[in-house]
């Protein structure tokens, strides 16, 4: 999310990965890391220049939240992400496990029991607004909203699908503001669509020279959790098309240039992840009055916790990079 007027300071839980990232980033591709809780402003090494610190979610809670991974079906990455965010938020806001069946199978069933105000898109689950072969961003936003605890007056939050019609680097800096002391999302992990929409990760934080929830920082790397892998780094089918380890750090350069990460935007023409197709054409492109040809296609797509009140702008609505309603009919 961008720096919007609705952002204000809140006390959050943040963590530091106690590793010399400046040394790790000499390696090629993604990098694995472990984490400890701590002050987000602590530098990694007195010798680093520039020095990068981790800002984001609590890693021990993230490890617990992903304890039933890998995804139970080949097209359940979004469902696995919903469960991880759900378990994390129940720990953060309620200090306990979810109050109902939170298996991936139960989440799948719930996604099949809801349809958007514009109808179902005819995809894998009823809550899709497209003919997606798995869960599209609308379905994930609904699942994250439904399965997490209700926000309180002191810590209100909701979930929306964010669509960044920008470069991958700019979009990464934008969602990086979810992490730090001035974030509205309480350092909540987010679901990020990757590989042209074939897959999705949970991102739980970033490495930066200073708090990324304020202007002026420089990002170095992205901390990712891959639902294709379990804690032993085994996959559903023995392959590792994305991360080599379930929790893996990607340099900003690799993240924004590698096509299986954010080296490409959403690809609605890949046969598996089309733009919306509902009976009511609210989100069915093109959006001529905006001069925008697509809904998700070619853009960078996330599902994020925010403070856009569900009473006025529900999880059904997508948000653009400026915090406004995404183009629609």
Render the burial of 189-223: b for 16+ CB within 10 Å, e for the rest.
bbbbbbbbbbbbbbbbbbbbbbbbbbeebebbbbb
Alpha-carbon Rg of the chain, whole angstroms? 18
- pLDDT recorded at residue 134: 98
CB-CB contact of 172 with 255 (8 Å): yes
CB-CB contact of 184 with 319 (8 Å): no
Exposure on the CB side of residue 121, measured as CA atoms within 13 A = 27
CB-CB contact of 54 with 17 (8 Å): yes
SS3 172: helix
Please tell me the total number of residues recorded for the chain in this structure. 329
- pLDDT recorded at residue 47: 65
Question: d(Cα 57, Cα 34) in Å, to the nearest integer?
Answer: 13
**Structural domain boundaries in the chain:** 15-320
Question: d(Cα 188, Cα 303) in Å, to the nearest integer?
Answer: 11
Q: Tell whether pTM > 0.75.
A: yes
Q: What is the DSSP string of 215-280?
A: TT--EEEEEEE-TTB-TTS-BSSS--SS-SSSEEEEEHHHHHH-TTTTSS---TTSSSSPPP--SS
Residue 328 φ then ψ, to 5°: -155, 170
Tens of pLDDT along 137-156? 999 999 999 999 998 888 88
Exposure on the CB side of residue 150, measured as CA atoms within 13 A = 3
SS3 62: helix
Residues 6+ apart with CB under 8 A from 136: 78, 121, 123, 128, 129, 130, 273, 276, 296
Bridge partners (DSSP) of residue 219 are 208
Tens of pLDDT along 94-105? 999 998 899 999
Low-confidence ranges of the chain (pLDDT < 70): 1-47
């Amino acid at each position: 999310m961008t720096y919007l007027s609705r952002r204000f300071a809140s006390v959050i839980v943040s963590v530091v990965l106690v590793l010399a990232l400046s040394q790790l980033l000499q390696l090629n591709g993604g990098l694995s890391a472990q984490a400890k809780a701590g002050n987000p402003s602590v530098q990694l090494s007195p010798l680093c220049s520039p020095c990068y610190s981790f800002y984001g979610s609590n890693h021990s809670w993230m490890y617990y939240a992903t304890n039933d991974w890998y995804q139970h079906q080949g097209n359940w990455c979004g469902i696995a992400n919903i469960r991880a965010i759900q378990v994390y938020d129940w720990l953060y806001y309620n200090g306990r496990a979810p109050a109902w069946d939170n298996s991936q199978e139960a989440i799948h069933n719930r996604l099949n029991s809801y349809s958007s105000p514009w109808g179902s898109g005819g995809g894998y689950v009823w809550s899709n607004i497209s003919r997606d072969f798995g869960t599209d961003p609308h379905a994930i936003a609904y699942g994250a909203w439904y399965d997490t605890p209700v926000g309180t007056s002191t810590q209100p939050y909701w979930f929306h699908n964010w669509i960044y019609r920008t470069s991958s680097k700019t979009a990464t800096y934008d969602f990086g503001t979810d992490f730090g002391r001035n974030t509205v999302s309480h350092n909540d992990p987010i679901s990020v669509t990757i590989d042209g929409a074939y897959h999705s990760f949970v991102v739980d934080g970033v490495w930066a020279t200073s708090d990324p929830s304020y202007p002026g920082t420089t990002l170095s790397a992205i901390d990712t959790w891959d639902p294709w892998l379990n804690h032993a780094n085994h996959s559903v089918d023995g392959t590792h098309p994305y991360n080599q380890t379930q929790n893996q750090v990607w340099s900003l350069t690799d993240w924004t240039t590698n096509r299986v990460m954010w080296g490409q935007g959403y690809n609605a023409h890949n046969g598996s992840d089309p733009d919306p197709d509902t009976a009511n054409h609210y989100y069915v492109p093109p959006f001529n009055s905006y001069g925008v040809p697509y809904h998700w296609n070619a853009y960078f797509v996330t599902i994020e916790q925010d403070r856009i009140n569900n009473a006025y702008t529900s999880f059904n609505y997508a948000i653009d990079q400026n915090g406004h309603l995404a183009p629609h009919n």
